[in-house]
Amino acid sequence: MPMTTVYLQIDKNVKISGTSFALKEIAKVSCSDKALETKLKLLKIPSSQINGPGRYVFSVMDVIETIQKQYPTVEVNNLGETDFVVTLEKKSQPSLVWQWSKTIFVCILSFFGAAFSIMAFNNDVNITKLFGQLYHLFTGNTSNGFTVLEVSYSIGLGAGIILFFNHFSKRKLTADPTPLEVKMRTYEDEINTTIIEADSRNPKNNP
């Protein structure tokens, strides 16, 4: 009987809805035999290690073994991760008041933190004195602390932040990801890598 090739693609972190899950919930499956592909997508993956919400490390070898145990004539070609994290989140959602409270707190913290950083930088380089000297140099008059330089600097600072973060309100200036999105994805990738490496070093998983 000829071998049938099945292609799998699994991301480094996948989310599931319950302690029992099918192959289609964690992987993209492709096969020339569409009837077989449908059966494989519904194939249950052993998940005895999942005992509640959290993050669990799985190996693609366990997935391949499960497939070949059920379908011995199938050849599996993995195009994704060799080790991946399965995330089961809590079903209960926090109250709307709590979500808004956290959002407001983060906004206030970010606003005053950024304001303090900008003021500390300006004070460190003595931007007021610098602007006063520049104003006197070009106009011959003494600066009163509120001139075209201060106004331009304030407007330019705000515009520069908007352009750098590529985001204003709900709108993005370009299709590129914002620096914050890039940092968040990098942070998420580092977390997944750390979880996988920590699991591989666990003596319980290396008898």
pLDDT tens, per residue, the chain with 207 residues: 567 889 999 998 998 888 888 999 999 999 988 999 999 999 999 888 888 888 899 999 999 999 999 988 889 999 988 999 999 887 766 678 888 898 899 889 988 988 888 888 888 888 888 888 888 888 888 877 788 888 888 888 888 877 777 666 666 667 777 777 888 889 888 988 898 888 877 766 555
Q: Alpha-carbon distance 115 to 145, whole Å?
A: 19
Predicted confidence at residue 80, as pLDDT, reads 87
**Tokens standing for residue 125:** 């380089």
Predicted confidence at residue 168, as pLDDT, reads 66
Predicted confidence at residue 160, as pLDDT, reads 80
Predicted confidence at residue 115, as pLDDT, reads 85
Question: Do the beta carbons of residue 80 and residue 59 sit within 8 Å?
Answer: no
Predicted confidence at residue 98, as pLDDT, reads 84
Q: Give this prediction's pTM.
A: 0.65
Q: How many CA atoms lie within 13 A of 59 on its CB side?
A: 7
Q: Alpha-carbon distance 93 to 102, whole Å?
A: 14
Q: CB under 8 Å to 1, separation ≥6 — which residues?
A: 73
Looking at CATH, the fold of the domain delimited by 4-88 is given as eubacterium ventriosum atcc fold (2.60.480)
Predicted confidence at residue 90, as pLDDT, reads 78
Q: Alpha-carbon distance 75 to 81, whole Å?
A: 17
Q: Alpha-carbon distance 13 to 103, whole Å?
A: 25
The region, left, alpha or beta by phi > 0 then psi within -120 to 50, assigned to residue 89 is beta
Domains of the chain: which residue ranges? Answer: 4-88, 96-200
Predicted confidence at residue 65, as pLDDT, reads 92
